[in-house]
Amino acid sequence: MARDNFRLDGRVAVVTGAGQGIGLEIARAMAAAGATTVIAEINMETGTAVAKELTGAGYQAAWVRLDVRDSRQVREAARQVLETQGGIDVVVNNAGIARNTAALDTPDQEWLDILDVNLNGVFWCSREFGRHMVERGSGSIVNIASMSGLIVNKPQPQAAYNVSKAGVIQLTRSLAAEWAASGVRVNAIAPGYVATELTKRGMSIPEWRDAWLGMTPMGRLAEPREIAPAAVYLASDAASYVTGSVLVVDGGYTAW
């Protein structure tokens, strides 16, 4: 049946930043779809808690410590997953940070920090986990970009964040083109405003909240669980002819 194409049974899925928010819901969705789900998280407390939750629900799950900013640690995490799980079929590059600082007031370190996590981290993980996929001849990488990589949000200033997510989109397309012949698909999801810790501050500022909701045709923020199915789709055989694509999940924001 067609719905079987969405299953991930027998596959190993690595989800970065899976301790909370969108990453947590993606990890839950991957596990529910049948994948052995590796929680790649810098925070041991949240990472192990998610792994325990999933195994307690009868799913296969594990935790590996991962700071996506450190390419050596990414390489070691990839080695650990290969050693303990026997392979890597899916990688979801979700770890990310955001700051709302005007360009003229942005310190050097803040700019570098955002690019380090949001863009460098995606490349380090794609390179090290993708190396195994390319050698084996199959795999799927799903990068969590943002509609901010396609448009400029308002009224909040966030040049560094926007640039980092635009970079993720172009990296997605570049890797998709480079690795297609090796059987590896690379796609991205571009969420709109989602009810997570990253948007909590903005929603507390009336001007920002009114603009965000007013410019979203559906008139609300997404819940993290509404982003997760898109990741399962792109990871699965249902998307077997999809690569280099950016799936926008934004409640219609970019339609206006």
pLDDT in tens, 122-155: 999 999 999 999 999 999 999 999 999 999 999 9
Range 73-84 average pLDDT: 98
Ranges of H-type helices in 147-196: 159-179
Share of the chain above pLDDT 90, in %: 96
Range 214-228 average pLDDT: 98
Distances (CA, A) of 246 to 10, 15, 90, 219: 26, 18, 17, 22
Closest CA to 193 of 217, 165, 213, 214: 213
Range 182-205 average pLDDT: 96
- Residue 161 catalytic? yes
What pLDDT is stored for residue 171 in this prediction? 98
pLDDT for residue 210 is more than 80: yes
pLDDT for residue 2 is more than 90: no
Beta-bridged to residue 14, according to DSSP, are: 38, 91
Range 212-237 average pLDDT: 98
Closest CA to 15 of 248, 148, 59, 193: 59
What pLDDT is stored for residue 110 in this prediction? 98
Q: What average pLDDT is seen over the chain?
A: 97
Range 25-36 average pLDDT: 98
> Could you tell me the pLDDT band of residue 1, with boundaries at 50, 70 and 90?
low
Beta-bridged to residue 38, according to DSSP, are: 14, 62
Range 49-72 average pLDDT: 98
105-122 burial, b if ≥16 CB within 10 A, otherwise e? ebeeeebeebbbbbbbbb
What pLDDT is stored for residue 3 in this prediction? 81
What pLDDT is stored for residue 71 in this prediction? 98
Strand order in the sheet with 246-249: 61-65, 36-41, 12-16, 90-93, 139-144, 184-191, 246-249
- Separation CA 175–CA 126 (nearest Å): 9
Homologous superfamily (CATH) of 2-245 is: NAD(P)-binding Rossmann-like Domain (3.40.50.720)
> Among the options 161, 193, 233, 253, which is catalytic?
161
Closest CA to 26 of 233, 227, 188: 227
Ranges of H-type helices in the chain: 21-32, 44-56, 71-85, 108-115, 121-136, 159-179, 197-203, 206-214, 228-235
